[in-house]
Structure 1
């Protein structure tokens, strides 16, 4: 089950399209859907989680807590919509495009992709692009 929640005033439009897309992402990575929660929030909310649970005193666009059991993916993905908006402007893309990138990024972490090294980050970006293209096919 893929769920979308909001801790701020953000409301995800086309939830069903996002759910279908994410299910196809899982299938393409040969993973199974457990309970996956996307929680949209503001910078302060995500910063507090970053400090409390990860001991990182900085702002970020996404934090994921992976509770996978084998190939069945479970977990919580927190996304700062403020940071997504700022990054969209910085990278000169639409808010929707950056949001899709971050949503895919969280799911790809659950699929086992990392982004700490340059090589891992390059592969993550390639996978994000591949998965974003899958969304466009869905519509």
Structure 2
């Protein structure tokens, strides 16, 4: 898996090119059909810093949450259609964040 930390402008360009959504977003995931590589996760650091303030998290916590979120997408989790899959993804995200905090990694 590769991780790219980038700007709002660059992630907006990627979002426009690959998802036909001409706006910045916090995280994008690009899965690969490869036995050795899961894919790419792209995180807007500008958006992570902004959201950390909005949600009351540290910048490290928000960046970790976005990395977890993007990684779950690479593993096949999806929240785009809402419902049970979105709830399942949110539970897994919360579980992994709690494990990180318990291990004092963030």
Please report the TM-score for the alignment, with normalisation by the length of structure 2.
0.86
Aligned residue for 1:65, secondary structure, equals: strand
- The structure that is strand-richer by fraction is 1
Q: RMSD of aligned C-alpha atoms?
A: 1.7
Work out whether residues 73 and 110 of structure 1, in 8 Å CA contact, stay in contact via their aligned partners in 2.
no
Gaps (5+ residues) in structure 2? Answer: none
Superposition deviation, residue 138 in structure 1: 3.8
Tell which deviates more after alignment, 40-49 or 82-91: 82-91
Matched, 1:111 2:88: no
Gaps (5+ residues) in structure 1? Answer: 1-35
Superposition deviation, residue 55 in structure 1: 1.2
* Equivalent position to 2:29, from 64, 72, 89: 64
Matched, 1:55 2:20: yes
Work out whether residues 61 and 84 of structure 1, in 8 Å CA contact, stay in contact via their aligned partners in 2.
yes
Total equivalences in the alignment: 103
- After TM superposition, list the pairs within 5 Å mapping 1:8-23 onto structure 2: none
Superposition deviation, residue 73 in structure 1: 4.8
Superposition deviation, residue 94 in structure 1: 1.4
Cα distance in structure 1, aligned partners of 2:48 and 2:86? 18
Cα distance in structure 2, aligned partners of 1:90 and 1:121? 22
- After TM superposition, list the pairs within 5 Å mapping 1:1-139 onto structure 2: 36-69=1-34, 73-119=37-83, 120-139=85-104
Superposition deviation, residue 117 in structure 1: 2.4
Do the aligned partners of residues 109 and 64 (structure 1) sit closer, same or farther apart at CA in structure 2, a change above 3 Å counting? same
